[in-house]
Every structure is written in C-alpha cells, then in structure tokens.
C-alpha cells in the first residue's frame, strides 16, 4: 500500500497527497479546550467490560506497537457515554515522542502529554467486519488515555518487557491474557467528539472518547518504547521508533462535549 511515516518525506504534512481525506471536516487529533467543551447531561458514564478479554499477540506494524484481541464475540466491549451500541475491542497501541519531548496526539489547551494510548473498538452490531466498520461514520470508538511521566506504572512492565521481541517492523509474538483494565486511570471522566483515524487511511469513522485523567508511567518505561524500530530486520537503515504522533487538526466547527 501507500508508504507513509512520520519523517520529513513521508510524514503528516504530506499524507493528504495519497489520502485526501486528511484535509476533511472531521480529522483527528484535535486540541481540546475544556472551557469550550460543555458538560452534556445526556452523556452517561462509559462502561468497560474487559474481564473476559482475550489478547492474542503483540506486533510492531512499522508505525506503533499493537496488542491485538480476539474480537469474534462480545467478550470485551465499551458501551454507554456517547455510544448507541456496544463496541468490541480490536486492538490497542501507543503514540509517543523522542527523548524529553512529548508525543501525545490530542492536546489540552496546547499542552501535550508524553504519550497517548488508543484502545480501538468497532460497532459489531451494525457492521459485519472491522474493515467495514472502519469506513463507516459510526463504525469505531477509540478510547484515548494520556500518559504522563512520574513513577513506574505497576503493570506497564508487562508490555515493555515484551518489546524486545518485536523490535523490528512486521515482528509479532504471542501475548495472551493481558487485560487492558490495568492501564485505566481512576476516573473515567472524558471528552467526546466525532473524528477520524489519526494515521492513514485517516477514515472519518471514529467516535473519540478521551479520558481527562492521565496514567503515570516512568521515563524509563517510556524509553523502552524508543528501542523499537520503524525499520524491518533486513533494512540496513535503523530508524528508531519515536515521535509517531500526528499534530492537532482543525476543529472545523465541531463540538466537543464533556461527561459529567
């Protein structure tokens, strides 16, 4: 497919050449301005049922590190909040910066966090496949969680300890029994708005739910993400995987709402 990346030659500022929707009306990420995101009393709490979740593997797809789930039934779903149906967990992945520079995708009043975790879910009630849902305006629900730096996160080591196995693009290894509930902050208060995938194909198919409270991870844990490579084992150019984030996109009149 179309080669894209985060460098000068293939990065976010030129994605529109192969993916014209990059200049669309509901692109993500965005800069969230809390005082311009009114509380909506109709927005109930989001409910996460991850207890029966079945992680399958962890892979380096050349853009991020991804943990994939068995989505053949409704074992792990997100529902409530702005969602009209339960959405099935498909995968989660991260975006991060370089040493000492921040790498979240959404920003809050211009402030970016060190990293951002995305839990990707799809509307299996309305659509027959993930691929079909990924192209529908209400097909996906992505839960965004900010990562800030501080003490070690007590469970993140389960992921960072596996990263050496997926150093190169297209590497994959078993990763069973991981429950992403351990990566949630204490509060599920959120902002929500209609947006898109933040990487090509940039489909405008995402109901975004961004948690207000970050989780805390250590610089050391984040540093392990930077030992991953964008490049494959056979490529001679070794390119460290870092700064794999898209900058905020124009709001174009969209409303951002806040949970109670």
Ligand X SMILES: COc1cccc(N2C=Cc3cc(S(N)(=O)=O)sc3S2(=O)=O)c1
Residues engaged in binding Zn ion (CB under 5 A)? 118
Shortest distance, CB of residue 203 to ligand X, whole angstroms?
A: 6
Cβ proximity to ligand X: between 141 and 236 the closer is 141
Q: Is 10 exposed, middle or buried (0-12, 13-18, 19+ CB in 10 A)?
A: middle
How many residues touch ligand X (CB under 6 A)?
Answer: 9
Shortest distance, CB of residue 246 to Zn ion, whole angstroms?
A: 9
Report the chain's C-alpha Rg in angstroms.
Answer: 17
Shortest distance, CB of residue 42 to ligand X, whole angstroms?
A: 25
Got the DSSP string for 165-200? Answer: GG-STT-EEE--S--GGGG--S---EEEEEE--SST
The correct pick among 32, 120, 163, 229 for binding ligand X (CB under 6 A) is 120
The correct pick among 104, 115, 192, 198 for binding ligand X (CB under 6 A) is 198
CB-based closest residue to Zn ion: 118
Cβ proximity to ligand X: between 134 and 215 the closer is 134
Cβ proximity to ligand X: between 24 and 44 the closer is 24
Spell out the long-range contacts of 8-13 with Cβ–Cβ below 8 A and sequence spacing 24 or more.
12/246, 12/247
From residue 144, alpha-carbon distances to 52, 127, 129, 137, 161 in Å are 21, 22, 22, 18, 23
Shortest distance, CB of residue 200 to Zn ion, whole angstroms?
A: 12
> Contacts with ligand X in 121-180 (CB under 6 A)?
131, 134, 142
Cβ proximity to Zn ion: between 48 and 142 the closer is 142
Taking contact as CB under 6 A, which single stretch among the options 35-43, 168-176, 191-199, 216-224 is the one that binds ligand X? Answer: 191-199
Q: Does 207 bind ligand X (CB under 6 A)?
A: no
Cβ proximity to ligand X: between 171 and 199 the closer is 199
CB-based closest residue to ligand X: 134
CA distance 165 to 169: 11
CA distance 5 to 9: 8
Q: Does 77 bind ligand X (CB under 6 A)?
A: no
Q: Does 118 bind ligand X (CB under 6 A)?
A: yes
* b/e per residue 181-199 (b: at least 16 CB within 10 A): eebbbeebebbbbbbbbbb
Taking contact as CB under 6 A, which single stretch among the options 19-27, 77-85, 184-192, 194-202 is the one that binds ligand X? Answer: 194-202
- Which of 63, 93, 95, 189 does the annotation list as catalytic? 63
Identify the bridge partners of residue 66 per DSSP, sorted by sequence position. 59, 93
63 is annotated as an active-site residue: yes
Are 103 and 222 in contact, with CB atoms under 8 Å apart? Answer: no
Give the 3-state DSSP-derived string for 126-139, with helices as H, strands as E and coil as C.
Answer: CCCCHHHHCCCCCC
Binding-site ranges for ligand X (CB under 6 A): 118, 120, 131, 134, 142, 197-199, 201
The residues assigned a catalytic role are 63
């Amino acid at each position: 497919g179309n080669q894209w990346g985060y460098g000068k030659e293939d990065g976010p500022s030129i994605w529109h050449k192969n993916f014209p929707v990059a200049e669309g009306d509901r692109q993500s990420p965005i800069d969230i301005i809390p005082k311009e995101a009114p509380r909506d009393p109709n927005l109930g709490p989001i409910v996460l049922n991850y207890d029966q979740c079945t992680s399958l593997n962890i892979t380096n797809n050349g853009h991020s590190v991804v943990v994939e789930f068995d989505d053949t039934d409704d074992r792990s779903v997100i529902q409530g909040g702005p969602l009209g149906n339960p959405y099935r967990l498909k995968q989660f992945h991260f975006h991060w910066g370089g040493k000492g520079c921040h790498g979240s995708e959404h920003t809050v009043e211009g402030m970016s966090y060190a990293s951002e975790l995305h839990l990707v879910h799809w509307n299996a009630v309305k659509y027959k496949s993930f691929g079909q849902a990924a192209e529908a305006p209400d097909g996906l629900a992505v839960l965004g969680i900010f990562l800030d730096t501080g003490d070690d996160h007590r469970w993140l080591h389960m992921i960072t300890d596996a990263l050496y196995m997926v150093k190169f693009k297209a590497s994959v290894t078993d990763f069973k029994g991981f429950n992403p509930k351990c990566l949630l902050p204490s509060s599920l208060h959120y902002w929500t708005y209609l947006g898109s995938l933040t990487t090509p194909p940039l489909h405008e198919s995402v109901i975004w739910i961004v948690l207000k409270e970050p989780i805390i991870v250590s610089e050391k844990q984040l540093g392990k993400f930077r030992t991953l490579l964008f490049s494959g084992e056979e490529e001679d150019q070794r390119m460290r995987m870092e700064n794999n984030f898209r900058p905020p996109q124009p709001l174009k009149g969209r409303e951002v709402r806040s949970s109670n």
